[in-house]
Structure 1
């Protein structure tokens, strides 16, 4: 019991502590500038940001539909988008990104998709996301290093580390084609590798998955840029691009539920290094993540209604029970 409670409480405390510390840093400035901030707000840009954010989710659904189809299961774009919405909503409350496994249970329950295949679909999606983020980050660095070259060192190393890890992973993936194993666990890993190659086996598949991933993340960046415009803050687009990239690379490490706290801190640090006032950087980071999380929650609630009562029960049980136990029960369906 204590382990389950601490697994939720500790990450939540970390998230609250990070947000609290960030707020205390800018509290006086925020109070002094609140009136001018409210006067300069342009709500139209907020509506545009929400619209772009929603479109981005459906593009994710389109990409995931393609991945699942390559693995032998046909699903519609509404179904695939709803799967992603539910799993990401779960990630906002379930620690260590365990919400991703919800997608596997949904695909098994609704489409009979084997767990190995659905697990591979998650890996494919995550790998393309991280690698495209790193490539976009690498492209943005030359523009930003010229601004404050001495402060961008750790960004460079973070992006290079991700790219190197990606290259090593691709090499292992290719070499695994000729590997064989009698051990059951290693056999499953090799099966996942084979399915990954199956999804990305053609130039058209590589192009579609890479291209949609680029557009997805650019829409994420545009959402944040529109938040800046809503606050009437003039920030270079490339600075927003780098902030979103660093924020999401850090968010990929499951320290807090949904990356709350760590994402905002990463964005605020990048903006401040780029010359943005501390209180403005804090506001942009918090509002950006709040908008994206609220869109996720609303989409998640609608998706739970779309799948039916059993999906709500699944979320409750995933939060309370061991995923292995639920998986064994689902295998009996």
Structure 2
């Protein structure tokens, strides 16, 4: 029953953010401005190539972190395929099921990695992801002195996200980490742990390049630190994803985040649409590549997702 109400609360917040996006669209959607901005971006193919290259590098760093956590046993290609498959699936399905497919890729390609190790590694690395984003988000709030200008919608969403995250971490991590305590201790203590955190943290900084370069091409530029903060707030908001790739959620949170540092809502809304479009393009391109390199039947993916959901439900009982 408690799990039911927790899921309902998360769903209500998700719907609230989607409604915020619809309101933004009603007031600020400008087809001509979006078209002009789109032409500005694609008229600089070299800049677009740089964006894609840096974005890819961010996922390579995530793959390195995963390989390190698993004591260097899996191939880097497996780790990268798993990460890119996860990205692709999250942009195809309305829920964040990518991690379940990421685990499936690791289990099927690397026989030396036990299933529980694969699961444990993804849980821990996701926790590090969230910790990195939270650090960036709160650092930015204090660094940029974001107070009154902060939108009520974004404040409520961020507060709710923090509460849900704490509940999930309190309930899930101790049990999961207890199952693989020795792996966690061996990996995260010492040099490897530092490298894993640095690779993960840096990967999120690199992802902000999509926002930074896009804004340079179509609007008054912001600083790299501001771009990192806006990206961290936007990605953290994806915990409430209920649409493929977090459509509507991404745009609403980014528009309000940009507004918080002085960008008008219409420009912020347009930037959010374009940067999200670029990320969708990258996810589908990378998804096509990994499907060619290591094809997985759609039925197999659905089975992995269903099995993962069943396990989650069992844990809640």
If the length of structure 2 is used for normalisation, what is the TM-score? 0.77
Q: How does 1:215-234 map to 2 (within 5 A)?
A: 215-234=202-221
- Check 1:20–1:107 CA distance in 2 against 1; reply closer, same or farther (3 A cut): same
1:140 positional shift: 2.0
1:266 positional shift: 0.5
1:58 positional shift: 1.5
1:61 positional shift: 1.5
In the alignment, which residue of structure 2 is the partner of 1:46? 48
Instruction: State yes or no: 1:103 paired with 2:102.
Output: yes
Deviation track 1:241-293 (CA, whole Å, cap 9, x = no partner) reads 22111111111334333322211110001112322122211121111122122
Deviation track 1:93-149 (CA, whole Å, cap 9, x = no partner) reads 23432221112222222222322111111112101111111112232223311xx53
Structure 2 distance, partners of 1:121, 1:82, is: 15
In the alignment, which residue of structure 2 is the partner of 1:191? 179
Q: Which has the larger radius of gyration?
A: 1
Q: Pick from 206, 223, 226 the counterpart of residue 236 of structure 1.
A: 223
Conservation of the 8 A alpha-carbon contact between 2:47 and 2:213: yes
Q: Pick from 288, 291, 308 the counterpart of residue 275 of structure 2.
A: 288
In the alignment, which residue of structure 2 is the partner of 1:125? 125
In the alignment, which residue of structure 2 is the partner of 1:63? 65
- Check 1:290–1:18 CA distance in 2 against 1; reply closer, same or farther (3 A cut): farther
1:156 positional shift: 7.8
1:34 positional shift: 5.7
- Check 1:84–1:324 CA distance in 2 against 1; reply closer, same or farther (3 A cut): closer
| Range 235-244 or range 38-47, more displaced | 38-47
In the alignment, which residue of structure 1 is the partner of 2:137? 137
| Range 208-217 or range 226-235, more displaced | 226-235
Conservation of the 8 A alpha-carbon contact between 1:143 and 1:238: no
Conservation of the 8 A alpha-carbon contact between 1:137 and 1:159: no
C-alpha RMSD over aligned residues:
3.7
Give the count of matched residue pairs: 293
- Check 1:298–1:165 CA distance in 2 against 1; reply closer, same or farther (3 A cut): closer
Structure 2 distance, partners of 1:98, 1:295, is: 18
Structure 2 distance, partners of 1:140, 1:16, is: 24
Q: How does 1:1-333 map to 2 (within 5 A)?
A: 20-27=22-29, 29=30, 31=32, 33=33, 37=37, 41=41, 43=44, 44-69=46-71, 74-112=73-111, 113-145=113-145, 148-152=146-150, 158=158, 162=162, 190-200=178-188, 202-308=189-295, 310-318=296-304, 322-323=306-307
Conservation of the 8 A alpha-carbon contact between 2:161 and 2:237: no
| Range 253-262 or range 225-234, more displaced | 253-262
| Unaligned ranges ≥5, structure 2 | 1-10, 312-317
If the length of structure 1 is used for normalisation, what is the TM-score? 0.74
Deviation track 1:133-173 (CA, whole Å, cap 9, x = no partner) reads 1112232223311xx5323487789489859977x969x97
| Unaligned ranges ≥5, structure 1 | 1-9, 177-185, 328-333
